[in-house]
Amino acid sequence: MTAARIIFWLICGLLVCAPSFAQSTEEAAADETATRYGISLLRGKAYDPDQIGLVLVQGQMLLDYEQIFWHRAPDALKLKIELNAGLTTDGRQRGLLSLNMLALRYLEKFRSGRWTPYLEGGIGLIYTDFRVDGQGLRFNFNPQLGAGVEYALPDNGAMTFGLRLHHISNGNTYKDNRGVNSVLMMIGYLF
């Protein structure tokens, strides 16, 4: 099965299954710690070492930080779990798959009407069907750092828009450790 078909079936699965996980609008409105789910599209390009174009589909789960880590945390701090599947768009027809965990912090004091900015950062594991010269491994670490804004919708959903720095490397677990650095733009929907 080609990588494009795998991504197509992942998108279909997320669109069909994800709404069944979401809480009703009344429950979500009453509980600010409610788990939220979403889907996003990320598009960007590696700036170091090659000009590798990337497009990713992301399924995500946004959890209250205190539900996972048993210590006090600000209400604005969330834990984001992501599953990404993607393709290169530079003619190579190569795929990638990653699982990431990020801390997401809403910047409540900068909220303006329905717009709430946020910062996020974390790490995950990534498999790439391609390697650049000197990269060494196909399984790597995937640290990321990003910023964005969430636009609240009347139905308790939200649109998200963001920019993310994306890095791939094996963290010196192998002698060849040439990293790949990218910038990705993201648009998504949370429900």
Q: Is there a contact between 39 and 57 (Cβ–Cβ < 8 Å)?
A: yes
Q: Is 15 a residue whose pLDDT tops 50?
A: yes
Distance CA 87, CA 53 (A): 8
User: Helix or strand or coil: residue 181?
Assistant: strand
119-169 pLDDT, tens digit each: 999 999 999 998 888 888 999 999 999 999 999 999 899 999 999 999 999
Alpha-carbon Rg for the chain in angstroms: 17
Among 65, 102, 66, CA closest to 84 = 102
Q: Give the three-class secondary structure for 52.
A: coil
**CA dist., res. 162 & res. 17, Å (int):** 25
Give the model confidence (pLDDT) of 59-117 as tens digits.
Answer: 999 999 988 888 899 999 999 999 999 999 988 789 999 999 999 999 999 999 999 99
Task: Compute the distance between CA of residue 36 and CA of residue 63 in angstroms, rounded to an integer.
Answer: 7
pLDDT at 132: 86
Select from 172, 111, 118 the least CA-distant residue to 147: 118
pLDDT value, residue 20: 44
21: pLDDT confidence band, cut at 50, 70 and 90? very low
- Report the CATH number of the 3-18+33-87+96-190 domain: 2.40.160.20
Residue type, 119: L
In angstroms, the CA 56 to CA 43 distance is: 6
Q: What is the pLDDT of residue 2?
A: 58
One-letter amino acid for residue 48 of the chain:
D
Residue 169: what pLDDT? 93
5-19, 121-135, 167-181: segment of lowest average pLDDT: 5-19
155 in the Ramachandran plot: left (φ > 0), alpha (ψ -120 to 50) or beta? Answer: alpha
Q: Domain boundaries in the chain?
A: 3-18+33-87+96-190
